[in-house]
Structure 1
């Protein structure tokens, strides 16, 4: 494999932590971990050090000059910190462009995104998609650009900018677009996934919420299967085949395994909550879009609809063509019960800590 310097952002997060663990497993990178730089906030430094890496501490993704300078010292950037922060993605790509100018060698950028980008809006009826599941073999860049020109959405905007800036500056880009993720990564608590959010709201409301009739359907994927897809793309790059696999305007990869409706997910969470002794009933609490905006997304109406009521079905044909296949499909049926156990333990621990300080 080629010797390349790799920068990973969000190294202690739900996605970035899983990706980093996957890359470090089985001596995948090299015995010399100095080839890998892990960007993290100060709170995650100890975790990164425990993995044998020296963390790079940063304060904010808004520090774009810092990000560009860091990227200019690396050949590959894997950006897991946020798919919604367009300026940080652009800065990292521009930094890689400087690296290419300095070394004369190809540089590569792997971007984290999600399938809310291709979701419909079935409640407001402001966008309808008749062609689900969408295949990444089709021209997804043009699709994303067209939709974003009509209704800007930060994560989708980032994908368009990543592609266009990469093409302009000769940086090979790969966008990995995940669906609803589940499963344990580096931390048993992963608060930004659908199931943990539903659990927390179930505890607050006394019933598990569902938006409207819950008929919308999304794909799902275990976070460790997701991490293996990142590892596969990186392995192609390190083997010298980065230019031979789809990239740039053809570089959108859908990652998907099973699928569920929002009603099915809510029912799963409610059932596991009753079995855990945390809920009294499996009866759901039906929310209007306005209520979901207030309760689930902190006032963000667009996110309430596309993130909790929409359809977003894909076919990950390109990643499968590279040899990837999910291995943890069966875990979906039990993941809600495990999340209940971890969240209830967290609540109990915090209550005990609060009592001890009184």
Structure 2
């Protein structure tokens, strides 16, 4: 297959590109940076010049390919709502290039949207929270709209994706811990975040685009939930910082924008995904990667 990948030079994008090429696929990778274009070309991918702001570029990239994996997203949380709505536009443009065919579009979302059954981990077939509550749901709403128009669209929901260099929202928490001089968790710190190693996630994207199952929901989850207390204690030892519990009413002052996530218990299951795709994650666990954190 010739697969168009947005976010091809990103933390997850580059491993996805390498995974696809190793499996015998051709990759058309969207890139607007000269510096990153060289690294992308070195993987064997075809560099497709353009930006996420150009709907015509997106539509053409999709139209010229056998499938699309959409990974690009602006993670500037100071404009989170606007960025989520922009992703809605991007998904619509990609879908426009695939209409009238069975070629797959894989959209990226987060497992937190499916944490809708109290006391249970998020499951692939759970009802989801709308964008009026969690702005990131705009991506899944855009995918659902395309599905009603006959586009073969499915969703990969991400947990905290990690290696020793980066760990999703945990990377943002580390910056806060360094600034504040302490590693904190809220209350007893037993709330959990799901996680998966970046190479396991890359393999799941490949399996998802190869399966090309319409309306599928996949959870890229290796660990259902790692407690925030365990993360803070591991990071405290690694960064040589004290570890402390803070009250819920202190969270905003300590974590800032991250407070909306820091106290949330959001475990997630991947049982259905593993069964459908034959996906068995085997990469390092989150705590093991945090123990190997690159400390400057």
Equivalent in the alignment of 2:32: 41
Q: Which has the higher helix share?
A: 1
1:162 aligns with 2:140: no
- Is the contact made by 1:182 and 1:222 (CA closer than 8 Å) also made in structure 2? yes
Return the alpha-carbon distance in structure 1 between the equivalents of residues 290 and 63 of structure 2.
Answer: 42
- Is the contact made by 2:8 and 2:29 (CA closer than 8 Å) also made in structure 1? yes
Runs (5+) with no aligned partner, structure 2 = 75-83
One of 76, 84, 94 as aligned partner of 2:67: 76
Q: How far apart are 1:11 and its partner, in Å?
A: 0.6
Equivalent in the alignment of 2:110: 114
Return the alpha-carbon distance in structure 1 between the equivalents of residues 293 and 113 of structure 2.
Answer: 26
Taking structure 1 as reference, are residues 296 and 48 closer, same or farther at Cα in structure 2, changes over 3 Å only?
farther
Equivalent in the alignment of 1:349: none
Equivalent in the alignment of 2:227: 261
One of 130, 148, 171 as aligned partner of 2:130: 148
- Is the contact made by 1:7 and 1:39 (CA closer than 8 Å) also made in structure 2? yes
Spell out structure 1 runs of 4+ moving beyond 6 A. none
Return the alpha-carbon distance in structure 1 between the equivalents of residues 72 and 247 of structure 2.
Answer: 31
- Is the contact made by 2:157 and 2:218 (CA closer than 8 Å) also made in structure 1? yes
One of 6, 9, 24 as aligned partner of 1:12: 9
1:24 aligns with 2:16: no
Return the alpha-carbon distance in structure 1 between the equivalents of residues 188 and 32 of structure 2.
Answer: 40
1:133 aligns with 2:116: no
- State the secondary structure of the residue aligned to 1:113: strand
Taking structure 1 as reference, are residues 310 and 94 closer, same or farther at Cα in structure 2, changes over 3 Å only?
same
The two structures, once aligned, show a CA RMSD in angstroms of: 2.4
Equivalent in the alignment of 1:284: 244
Equivalent in the alignment of 1:89: 91
Structure 2 length-normalised TM: 0.85
Q: How far apart are 1:38 and its partner, in Å?
A: 0.3
Q: How far apart are 1:9 and its partner, in Å?
A: 0.5
Q: How far apart are 1:224 and its partner, in Å?
A: 1.0
Taking structure 1 as reference, are residues 289 and 47 closer, same or farther at Cα in structure 2, changes over 3 Å only?
farther
One of 148, 162, 165 as aligned partner of 1:182: 162
- State the secondary structure of the residue aligned to 2:93: helix
Taking structure 1 as reference, are residues 38 and 287 closer, same or farther at Cα in structure 2, changes over 3 Å only?
farther
Runs (5+) with no aligned partner, structure 1 = 121-128, 237-241, 345-358
- Is the contact made by 2:162 and 2:195 (CA closer than 8 Å) also made in structure 1? yes
Q: How far apart are 1:169 and its partner, in Å?
A: 2.5
Structure 1 length-normalised TM: 0.72
Q: How far apart are 1:317 and its partner, in Å?
A: 2.3
Write the mapping of 1:148-227 to structure 2, written as runs, cut at 5 A.
148=130, 151-165=132-146, 167-184=147-164, 188=165, 190=166, 193-227=168-202
Q: Which structure has the larger Rg over C-alpha atoms?
A: 1
